[in-house]
Structure 1
Amino acid sequence: MRTDNLQEMVDRLAVRLQRSVTVTDPEIRILAASAHYDDEDEARVRAVLARVALPEVYRHIHSFGVRSWSEPGTVAAAPTLGFEQRFVIPIRQGRTLLALLMIIDRDANGLTDVELNAAMQTTRAMVGILDRDQADLQRRQAQRSQLLSDLLSDHDAVREQARSQAAHIMGGPVDQAVVMTMKIGSPGRYGAEVGLEVDAGIANVELREGSRLAHVYQDGTVTICAVTEHPPSEESIREQGRRILDSVSSLLDENACCTMGLCDEPTQLSMIRTAHRRSRLAAEAATWLPQFRPVAAYSDLGVFSVLLRLRREDLEEAVPSALCRLLEDDTHGVLGETLALYLVSGGSIPVTAQGLRLHRTSLYYRLNQIETQLGMSLHDGEARQVLHLGLKAMELLDAYTRS
């Protein structure tokens, strides 16, 4: 935002009140901040240095419902956060919340009528600047979201038009794209409020890193596209995915469960739909299967990259009936554990015995029991493949059932 005039207004009001004054956007990112007047607190100092929303302070302020305020009010102190009480004036244009003007009120003395009138006059003067800049920001965000939606469209002409506009909308060359899918499990909270928290978390990453990101949020799923001029490494893609996940989840309700799926290879815009499908599968794996949580890459999935595409009834058919009987009769789980480790080790007796801390003679006895009950030979490579696939399908079915 263009905040020069805004800064002048904040400075004049702070001198008038002899108090520290801050203007933030609705997501608690500082737009303008006055000098300190010996009333600063730890939260203000950290926010001025970071220039982005501090997660714990963000959640504290929004717990008072400030997005819906139409009149000034007080946000109580939170000593554990180093946060003194704030007198807060919402700055609105019609029904749209443009910003919040915050005045530190350490002594809880409030403002005199004259001071309150000066603060209200200042906020009214800020509306024009904030409204113009907010409209510009919202237009850029909407353009990026629409661009991503168009790149993922089923229609060839729409995708081609989007590719031709990508560099202009994203503010620079778009030679490579990395696609991510974030899943947000937040019981009862999939509406506009969560969407705003997602917007804020992703914007914080952009501010800190200078990234160029486009995203679309719908019903607990966030599709994210990071564009670059040069192909990033697989490790840098994973690190960026973790940072985005951390940034967004830090602003959400503490009960929210967030997972991230990555297509860990950069792609051309013409192949972005394939990358999107892969990132969605990785996100599903991270959501359902603990071993992939909280960030999974498509290359990590192994056979789950196929199984996650199947309907539940198809998964059930992938489990041999003999395997089901074996596991049902295996009350202590000994044979199931032995079979799983044997298959994972590629049929290696030494590795399986070491993993189970079992003498080879005992292992051979167990394997013989398994073969007898299955009616299959574990020396048969195709039989091992069928059994391994069946165990993985059962693992996914169990995850679905638990959830």
Structure 2
Amino acid sequence: MRGELQRIVDAVAAHVGRPALIEDRRQRVVVYSEQTGLMDEVRRASILRRQTAPEVIAWLRGLGIADARLAVRTPASPELDLLPRLCVPVRHHDLLLGFVWFIDPDGTMTEVDLAATGLLRELSLALYRENLLGELAAQSETEAARTLLADSPGSRDQAVRALLEAGMIHADGPRTALVARLVAPEERQPDERARIALEQSLVAARRRAGTREALHLVRHDHGVLLLPAEPAAGRPTPEVAARHLDDDLQQVTRSLGSVERTVVGVGRTRPRLADVVESYVEALHAARVGARLPALGRVVAWSGLGVFRVLARLGEQHLTVADVHPGLARLVSTPGHRTLLTTLERYLDRAGNAHATAADLRLHRTTLYYRLQRIEELAGTDLKDGSERLCLHLALKLARLAERHSGEE
């Protein structure tokens, strides 16, 4: 199929007398002719990464290319390092299948009538077949991935068999789940450009691992990558893959105002693909904790979460600070007590070591003791009681997870 498309794009380029590039309807690069002459950074990046940047897609869609039936001239955009172009939409019975792009830096290109040559019809049929096959395969893979992350053990085993029989994965074996989240400002959901950026990053990570070795899925508020955990030549470990995925996310979301920051959660490895749902749940919790607590970093492993492993699970049962320690809940809910809460948390983090806490907070020991005494009075607690200290420590971490205590002075 790609051989046929390559023949067509070469014929198109020869007919027009300049390089051509073909994208599918999602503006992913499908095929391109030999690239000669002036080239901008957008064309260069599209060829190297096989995809177009989300901000460029949004800008071009704003010019109406997705609704066009005839060729569209798009102006230059110095901010995007984009030269003027001529865009020819490719349709099959009014169904948008993709776009043919020509760079036209000086605006001298005449209107392109590919229909008269028969090339446009050939291209639409070839893209239709590729689109149909690709959509069917993608739909089957997506359904299998959803089954692996949600359904019963029997259904998950069946999904693995289906993936193996269809050749969508090379083999079964140990798998690790990564969950990528885009954290939007003020609790808003990431927009469509952010979702495109997320999928592009997942696809790039999957290529590094091997497209028949990994699976990916985009959900409403996060992306999932299921990676082989066994070492192989040229294939990154899950930990390295997580860092690479985060780097990709940082790069493609840097210009998106709808994304404040990114976080990648890493679950523990499971021996079979049918068991990877357990790793997924861990990675999902790790990403959610990381989204709430930026101090943990952009890559957060479930195995390194400590007490937050317990609190993340308990949070599903709607556990509140008051459930763990009512006195501390009063302190948390009262404005002006952030310094006392920070002092208490540092004190408990250091196992009640007053000398280490005072040094950490750069306080005189007398000031520290005064604050601790004040905490005991306000929270109705006794810091010499081990059980009370345990409850207070858990309640403080739960407050941080619920964003009711920042942990900062």
Bin for the TM-score computed over the shorter chain: 0.7 to 0.9
Deviation, 1:6, is 2.2
Deviation, 1:159, is 1.6
| Residue of structure 2 in register with 1:226 after alignment | 227
C-alpha deviations, 1:37-91, integer Å up to 9, x for none? 5343343234334434345534433343433333321222112333211111111
Cα separation, 2, equivalents of 1:344 and 1:139: 53
Q: Does 1:357 align with 2:362?
A: yes
C-alpha deviations, 1:173-231, integer Å up to 9, x for none? 2212121233345657667x876654444333334553443233343333332235549
| Residue of structure 2 in register with 1:263 after alignment | 266
Deviation, 1:245, is 3.7
| Residue of structure 2 in register with 1:76 after alignment | 75
Cα separation, 2, equivalents of 1:328 and 1:38: 65
How many residues were matched structurally?
Answer: 396
Instruction: Quickly say closer, same or farther: Cα 1:399–1:91, change in 2 above 3 A.
Output: farther
How does 1:95-174 map onto structure 2 within 5 Å?
Answer: 95-112=94-111, 115-117=112-114, 121-168=118-165, 169-174=167-172
Instruction: Indicate the larger mover: 125-134 or 51-60.
Output: 51-60
SS at match of 1:141: helix
How does 1:75-94 map onto structure 2 within 5 Å?
Answer: 75-94=74-93
| Residue of structure 2 in register with 1:183 after alignment | 181
Instruction: Quickly say closer, same or farther: Cα 1:106–1:208, change in 2 above 3 A.
Output: farther
Cα separation, 2, equivalents of 1:100 and 1:131: 12
Instruction: Indicate the larger mover: 147-156 or 48-57.
Output: 48-57
Instruction: Quickly say closer, same or farther: Cα 1:338–1:185, change in 2 above 3 A.
Output: closer
Unaligned runs of 5+ in 1: none
SS at match of 2:319: helix
Deviation, 1:172, is 0.7
Q: Does 1:238 align with 2:242?
A: yes
Q: CA RMSD in A?
A: 3.3
C-alpha deviations, 1:347-382, integer Å up to 9, x for none? 112210111112223323333333344443323222
The alignment-based identity, stated in percent, is: 26
- TM-score, normalised by the number of residues in structure 2: 0.83
Instruction: Quickly say closer, same or farther: Cα 1:271–1:38, change in 2 above 3 A.
Output: closer
Q: Does 1:5 align with 2:8?
A: no
Deviation, 1:92, is 1.8
Q: Match of 1:340, as an amino acid?
A: E
Kept after mapping to 2: 8 A contact 1:238/1:264: no
Q: Does 1:320 align with 2:325?
A: yes
Cα separation, 2, equivalents of 1:328 and 1:188: 27
Cα separation, 2, equivalents of 1:25 and 1:120: 21
- TM-score, normalised by the number of residues in structure 1: 0.84
| Residue of structure 2 in register with 1:303 after alignment | 307
Deviation, 1:144, is 1.8
Cα separation, 2, equivalents of 1:315 and 1:10: 61
Deviation, 1:139, is 2.3
| Residue of structure 1 in register with 2:397 after alignment | 392
Kept after mapping to 1: 8 A contact 2:42/2:52: no
Unaligned runs of 5+ in 2: none
Instruction: Quickly say closer, same or farther: Cα 1:96–1:253, change in 2 above 3 A.
Output: farther
Flag as ranges the 4+ runs of structure 1 deviating above 6 A: 188-191
